[in-house]
Structure 1
Amino acid sequence: MTETLRPGWRSHYALALVALAYVFNYVDRLLMSILIEPVKLEFGVSDTEIGLLSGLVFGLCYSVAGLPLGRLADRIGAVPVIACCAIAFSVFTMLCGLAGSFAVLLLCRIGVAFAEAGGMAPSVALVSQLYPPRQRSRALAAFMMGPSLGTLVGLAAGGWIAHHYGWRMAFIAIGLPGALIGILIWLTVRNVRVPRDTAASAGSGWWPSTQAILATPGYIWLLASASLAAICGYAVGTWNPSFLIRSHNLTMQQAGLLAGVGGGVMSFAGTLACGWATDRLVQKDAGWQVGTALAGTLLSIPFALGYYLWPAGSALVLMGIAIPEAFLLYLGFAFFGVWWSIPCLGAISHLFPAGRIAQATSVFVAAMTLFGIGAGPLVAGTLSDLFTPSYGDEALRYALAASVSLLALASVTLALALPSYRRARQIPALAIAHGG
């Protein structure tokens, strides 16, 4: 995609709709976290079993489905894949509310995982086709507001609905809007077909093209960074409401409101700030495409550890909620904790031609999801069970502190990715695509 591209209202409209679809993609994925306690109570399951439901099983299915769906989007265009998957994950989310057993709930969540896998990678490819490189980080930041707004809607609205109408109604009510958005995308967004020259490069076999992608300088380090950061992010996203309930004595509705509104607003602000800063800084040095991810990750670590290790206590009362002192540190973590994702996705869009972006992104998302969704909730849940004999109700506190410590390793891999990415930007994109 060249710099001569001038996005118009159709580009902005398409971006708005796929961003909205990703909001509900993330809402449906995150909703389980605010419903952990009532689901555990009804089905009598352990933290480890919840970790399997929210983590390993979900992440494995998401990763497996994401690879062929990313390849499909490169071949037929992103729009039909995004639309169909939005409808499907919404239907499966609503079916979760009808589950009569933990096994049925698990099957429905597997359906959600398969369908959600077709959201992110095709959307990143579409955004990369609609916006030139100098505007791409800001456009991706707008798209990546999905997790921030999803946190706000999924936790705050989900917690409120579950508190008043039960956890089953929360699944049904939250699932419906995504299906409507998917239909709207199908009917009103014009599919962007890959140009003929890059389509030819995408026509090679899946495994040879994947090998060429993996051989691209810097790409492996980006995969490692995303995987480590995602373990932390999904551990926090899944277990944070339960931590506020167990360690700070909040109700389910209060925990959802704090984590959703407070965390959502700050991560929303952090996403926009990261996109703006990255686009500005890369004009001076292309290395800042990865450098901003490194800086944000380093800044997030003390906020994260401080939040989970700060003793219980209230800082102020707002709208009848006694807000813990520790939660003020969480706001800083929510702001900087999202800075790794947008620059890494932007880096991928710069490394590959249009006909390879969805596949490269799907491999990236598969690794991020397998380790993040797959391992994050399970690691934190298992550590919580292991720490319970020693720490009792505070076990989850130390399990989450151990999980966020992985951000230190993510900082190391981002630092290793930086020089490799600089070198890769000097190689013509088509040569990279062919493994050159």
Structure 2
Amino acid sequence: MGLHTAGTAVPGTSPATPAAVSRRYAWLVFGLSFGLLLSDYMSRQVLNAVFPLLKAEWLLSDTQLGSLSGIVALMVGVLTVPLSLLADRWGRVRSLVIAAMVWSLATLGCAMAASYGQMFLGRFMVGVGEAAYGSVGIAVVLSVFPISLRATLSGAFIAGGAFGSVLGVSIGGAVAQHLGWRWAFGVMGIFGMALAVIYGIVVTEKRLGTVSGGGRGASGVRPDGCPSDERAAIRTLLPRLFSSVSVVCAYIGSGLQMFIAMALLGWMPSFLNRYYDMPPGKAGLVAGVFALITGIGMIGGGMVADRLSRRDGARKWTVAITCSLGSLALLTAGFQLPSGPLPLVLIGAGTLLSNATAGPATAMVANLTPAAIAATAMATLTLANSLLGLAPGPAVTGVLADRIGLLGALQMVPLVAIAAGAAFAIGKLNYEKDLRRLGLLPDVAPTTPELPS
């Protein structure tokens, strides 16, 4: 089994000290990191499968249920950037193990919660633990693989979020139906703790060949791969994160579409339970299919955008606009029709498009920001997605459901796509002008892949 080397995990930066590891060990690192990603999303989404049981036992309002889901996404959005920076300085593997233990122990705490307040605190800590896993986990994986596999590995991580959501909702619903909702949280917590222990034993900073701490290693580079004397230069580039109309539109459009996707993901089990008379277990399984459809749409949207924009980068905006308006039309029709098979088909099609804008939006942000701060740009996009979509999507839908019913709330949710589509349209109008002003043309090359977040 031969050795291969990898560059830094941060796109657009100087190469870090290459890590020489066996291909088998590299794939082991990927498998364990992917497993923790599944645990991350399973612990996050298991709550949605037990909404009906919590509502009945604690007499919670839909607003309270939505807040239990939204607080995790809010903490992820707020803490992603600072915790990612801390992990780069302190040691990524150590940070990942601690993070996994935090969200797993917090999930076990949710299993023992005796009130809404205790459950809210547990979910708060789940969000703290999960905050930086996506960015730090993919950094570890990319550090042991050739640069030529970056797009493939990043795409797998994007899909992993959807797969973890499917497992969390479907397994959580089945366990809750047979053993009670507390066991649903317990199973997720135990799974995460076991993986964290294995990860800490198998994956080490020494075997990865990385340097911990904030100073230079023997190679004269920081753990994030940037020479220490680049810090000042990078600071001067940070304003470029918001220096163009089109990049701000990409942030906003992506976040608003995420609002729709997360609202659907969070409330689909309850919708199926209330309006299709499905028991929690079956509702969780069916909702898991919808979550999987969301992940397929994310991957498919990126693939279509890349293929259509080989000669014209602005077509990425066209794909995003089309997906926004398509989700609006399909979801509106699906939630307006009486319960039956056809509405579910339309809702499924709308779900496929609801977050298919994620890939195009990520590529547009990468095109519009300097390569030296590409990681920070992706963190900024993640923050926008969290604050505009992941956190408010389930919570706002819950508030609306208390006032006009869950069906009425879900009929309102697709209207957010109007604002998202408008943001993408404005971005497209300014895209080429912004690229020229920033000196970033030409923006496409057929042989140059764009790294998704």
Hey, what does 2:60 align to over in structure 1?
Answer: 45
Query: Cα RMSD over matched residues?
Result: 3.4
Hey, what does 2:403 align to over in structure 1?
Answer: 386
Matched, 1:233 2:248: no
Matched, 1:375 2:392: yes
Matched, 1:338 2:365: no
Hey, what does 1:194 align to over in structure 2?
Answer: 224
CA distance in 1, matches of 2:409, 2:67: 16
Give secondary structure in 2 for the equivalent of 1:269.
Answer: helix
The Cα of 1:138 is off from its aligned counterpart by 4.3
| Stretch moving more, 9-18 or 26-35 | 9-18
389, 394, 407: which one pairs with 1:397?
407
CA distance in 2, matches of 1:256, 1:52: 19
Matched, 1:89 2:99: no
The structure-2 alpha-carbon separation of the partners of 1:25 and 1:70, relative to structure 1 and needing over 3 Å to count, comes to same
59, 63, 76: which one pairs with 1:62?
76
What is the one-letter code of the residue matched to 1:287? A
CA offsets, 1:370-425, max 9 Å, x none? 222332122111111111xxxxxxx2111011012101211111222235455565
Hey, what does 2:124 align to over in structure 1?
Answer: 110
CA distance in 1, matches of 2:306, 2:30: 18
Hey, what does 2:339 align to over in structure 1?
Answer: 312
What is the one-letter code of the residue matched to 1:292? V
Hey, what does 2:4 align to over in structure 1?
Answer: none
Query: What pairs up with 1:52-201 in 2 under 5 angstroms?
Result: 52-55=67-70, 57-73=71-87, 75=89, 78-123=92-137, 137-186=151-200, 187-188=202-203, 190=208, 193-197=223-227, 200-201=229-230
CA offsets, 1:102-127, max 9 Å, x none? 11111111001111111223345567
Q: How many residues align?
A: 408
CA distance in 2, matches of 1:364, 1:424: 18
CA distance in 2, matches of 1:289, 1:14: 33
Give secondary structure in 2 for the equivalent of 1:196.
Answer: coil
414, 417, 422: which one pairs with 1:412?
422
The structure-2 alpha-carbon separation of the partners of 1:2 and 1:151, relative to structure 1 and needing over 3 Å to count, comes to closer
Identity between Structure 1 and Structure 2 (%): 24
Give secondary structure in 1 for the equivalent of 2:391.
Answer: helix
CA offsets, 1:32-66, max 9 Å, x none? 111111112222221112222222x3343333222
Matched, 1:277 2:304: yes
What is the one-letter code of the residue matched to 1:35? V
Contact 1:74 1:359 in 2 (8 A): no
Contact 1:74 1:358 in 2 (8 A): no
Give secondary structure in 2 for the equivalent of 1:404.
Answer: helix
Give secondary structure in 2 for the equivalent of 1:405.
Answer: helix
CA distance in 1, matches of 2:421, 2:355: 13
| Stretch moving more, 218-227 or 159-168 | 218-227
The structure-2 alpha-carbon separation of the partners of 1:404 and 1:218, relative to structure 1 and needing over 3 Å to count, comes to same
Higher relative contact order (CA 8 A, sep 6+): 1
CA distance in 2, matches of 1:20, 1:355: 30
The Cα of 1:29 is off from its aligned counterpart by 1.4
The Cα of 1:246 is off from its aligned counterpart by 1.0
Give secondary structure in 2 for the equivalent of 1:300.
Answer: helix
The structure-2 alpha-carbon separation of the partners of 1:267 and 1:372, relative to structure 1 and needing over 3 Å to count, comes to closer
The Cα of 1:131 is off from its aligned counterpart by 7.8
TM-score under structure 2 normalisation?
A: 0.78
Q: Which has the larger radius of gyration?
A: 2
What is the one-letter code of the residue matched to 1:372? G
CA distance in 2, matches of 1:127, 1:291: 32
Contact 1:125 1:354 in 2 (8 A): no
Matched, 1:297 2:312: no
CA distance in 2, matches of 1:2, 1:374: 30
The structure-2 alpha-carbon separation of the partners of 1:340 and 1:200, relative to structure 1 and needing over 3 Å to count, comes to farther
The structure-2 alpha-carbon separation of the partners of 1:124 and 1:84, relative to structure 1 and needing over 3 Å to count, comes to same
CA distance in 2, matches of 1:222, 1:128: 25
